[in-house]
Amino acid sequence: MNKFVKLIITDICLAAAAVIMYSPGLLDLRPSDSSILRAGCSIMGVLVLAYGFIKTNIISALETHNSLAIGMENVDDCIRVLREVDTDIFKTSVEEAVRQLGRAKNIENSFHVVVDEKFPPGSMSNDKFNSTASMSITAIVKNCRAMVARIQMFDERDYMRIRKLIKTGEYLRDDIPDSIQEEKYAIYEKNHSAIKDMVNNNEKILIRLDALVMEISTLDSRDISVENNDIINEIEDLIEQTKYYQ
């Protein structure tokens, strides 16, 4: 259910509860009631209704807007983890991933500024564009963490050994079954390609985020379609692809 519909329904329920509690002929609660119990219930009712209104219309709205950001501590933590990875084969990929995360932080910051200037906070367009940025950064971070896990499980020394055997054909002359060595090498190569693909996928997401923020900043807000935005659709497709590697 759309959050705005939920907001309206909740407000109607709060208003109905207030009518039932304080209208003459119904519960008719009053703080000045001669009954201590009824007077106490009246005061408690006011407090509960007031909290419900504030929670629904103010606190929840702020929580929703703030939740659009992934949290820079997660990006920074991922950068720290990447910098601690010990690898020779994937050194370039790790360095590129660190640069990508740094760019992701800058893009997300500028993204929220541009979107908030074009669309009022809480509007459908604001939430859609900001959530696209948030989901993109989340996907990039998850991709980088998955990449770290793959690298840590990757035996680089054994990979180089079996790669040499396969390339030179020496594996055909040893005592280990050829099919086993070929299968093992194929698994190594699949992981090797996956790690590079993860970096490339992150790059594609960042490029499209750059394009999207540029489109938002240069066009009139009335000309920007949320539902049929090709860039958003491309980003969502790329995010879906990242799940294959994670």
Question: When comparing pLDDT for 27 and 106, which is higher?
Answer: 106
pLDDT of residue 197 exceeding 90: yes
Three-class secondary structure of residue 92 per DSSP: helix
Looking at this protein, which amino acid is placed at residue 164? K
- Please give the model's pTM, rounded to 2 decimal places: 0.65
pLDDT of residue 35 exceeding 60: yes
The helix or strand, by DSSP H or E, that contains position 65, with its residue range, turns out to be helix 60-66
| Percent of the chain whose pLDDT exceeds 70 | 71
Query: How do residues 39-84 score in pLDDT, each as one tens digit?
Result: 666 677 667 767 666 665 655 544 444 333 444 558 888 999 999 9
Q: Which of 204, 195, 104, 111 lies closest to 153 in space, CA to CA?
A: 195
pLDDT of residue 2: 40
User: 19 falls in which pLDDT band (50, 70, 90)?
Assistant: low
Question: When comparing pLDDT for 99 and 125, which is higher?
Answer: 99
Number of H helices, E strands in the chain: 9, 0
Tell me the average pLDDT across 224-245: 73
Alpha carbon distances (Å) from 228 to 87, 115, 176, 210, 216: 43, 17, 56, 18, 14
| Percent of the chain whose pLDDT exceeds 90 | 34
Contacts of 57 (CB under 8 A, 6+ apart): 7, 11
Tell me the average pLDDT across 191-212: 92
Alpha-helical regions (H) of 119-177: 124-153, 156-168
Query: How do residues 141-170 score in pLDDT, each as one tens digit?
Result: 999 999 999 999 999 999 999 999 999 999
